[in-house]
Structure 1
Amino acid sequence: MSFPYKHVLIFGATSGIGEALAKQLFDVCETIIVTGRREENLKALCEGVPNASYRVHDISDHGSIAPFAASVVADVPQLDCIVLNSGIQRGFDFSKPDTVDLSQVDLEIDTNYVAYLHVLKHFLPHLLKQPQATVIAMSSGLALVPLPRVPNYCATKAALHQFWLSLRVQLQDTSVKVIEVFPPAVQTELHDEKHQPDIKNGRSIGMPLAEFTAEAWAGLLAGEDDIPVGPIVQLNYEKIDKPRQEAMNRFLGMMRKQAGA
């Protein structure tokens, strides 16, 4: 299969997974818009790519999302794909509550979860009018099995996963396909010491970025709804999330049966 979406907006494309995915899409899409906070990174990413442009935008500034959406849709009325990749990860130890910076807790929740809902609220009216469209969320294997040193990050990804499952049901009779990618730990700046001082050599943690990108891209080309990447995440998905989704479908069937009774 080929990637069916041709006009793509990527949130969180200044580095790592978002940047790598943008480069993958440059050759197969007609329009690519990349966003993030660091203009120098975005400018370098788009340099020499005629079908790519960038917009500096902070997804955690929720009040800016409505006008941002209106501007993007006005400029690219064919927009048919949104990739939500923005995310931050911070370590919190609640056994030492004096060390917990609640402003960083709030920022992590706003960036990793709440902002995604704001984006959907303001872009879905446009996407629902397209013949085919998609919203793609970069979730995490930690949505399925938590890592205690980053409890809030795990909670935001678990919340996003639960929401994405419900969103898929809500949009199942529309033209919008709901896709979730579950990365393992990937060698990106997410684990850099400047963000998580307790981690040394964080850029060496996890799957090489190129390997992750190739596997995730294969899942996107195959048209999969859920794309768990890496053997551990795939195992957890099969053992934990498939049964969860089966239970959800049984519950939905029961509720629909009762509603029709």
Structure 2
Amino acid sequence: MTTFTDAAVIVERNLLTVRRIPTLLISATIQPLMFVFLFAYVFGATFGGGAYREFLMAGIFTQTVVFNAAFTTIGLANDMSAGIIDRLRSLPMSRLAVIAGRVGSDMLLGALGLAVMVVCGLAIGWRIRGSALDAVIAFAIIGLFALAMAWVGAVTGLAAPNVEVAQSLGFLWMFPVTFLSSAFISAQSLPGFLRPIAEWNPVTAVATAARQKFGNAAPPDFPPATGWVAEHAVGYSIGCSLVILAVCIPLSLVLYRRATA
């Protein structure tokens, strides 16, 4: 309970920063809108119009939660550079709470961005074709993956020596992981060795699971998703998220102790 209480204090501290500097909300809200309109109308005109926009939204949701890990990466690196972590370390509080508080506040900002994207998606013609329960499961899968990505961001931020390096390291893994997947295209259309990499990519699994639950089919000229991951997308995406959490939470504590030693 002490850990949860301490983490809640850190969440409140981070959200107060956002309230005092409202421009921090720009990345959480405007950037997702840019991606939605860019891919929906620039790529959509080539890949099938309205059918592609329905296919796209689950990928955009997944891509956004991956990119939101940058908030945690840069936030923790900035706290380390500014000496805030040293002040927190001098207090009788849980080490895990320091990192979990940053993750929690960034998750709340990410949820705001996701809500904005849902409204934007509905405005451009995206619809949830499945049941209400299926939609809840889809958003729960995306939320669990967002939590896993936030902890990956925490590991990256704690491993970086400064904010500039943290930002570079963050985008170094985000772009290939996101774009080498079926977030925006069918993985079956990729050539050679790229295809199995994309098929087993957790981003592909999360996007595929969300599409299945939303009832959003691929455009007619897209090769259908096949293989074990496509057939077990829900279970595989949940399993990947849990494995990432099981690895990154202890690793972040190790890096936290090392960075503050």
TM-score, structure 1 as length reference:
0.31
More helix by share: 2
Query: Relative contact order (alpha carbons < 8 A, sep ≥ 6): 1 or 2 greater?
Result: 2
More strand by share: 1
TM-score, structure 2 as length reference:
0.31
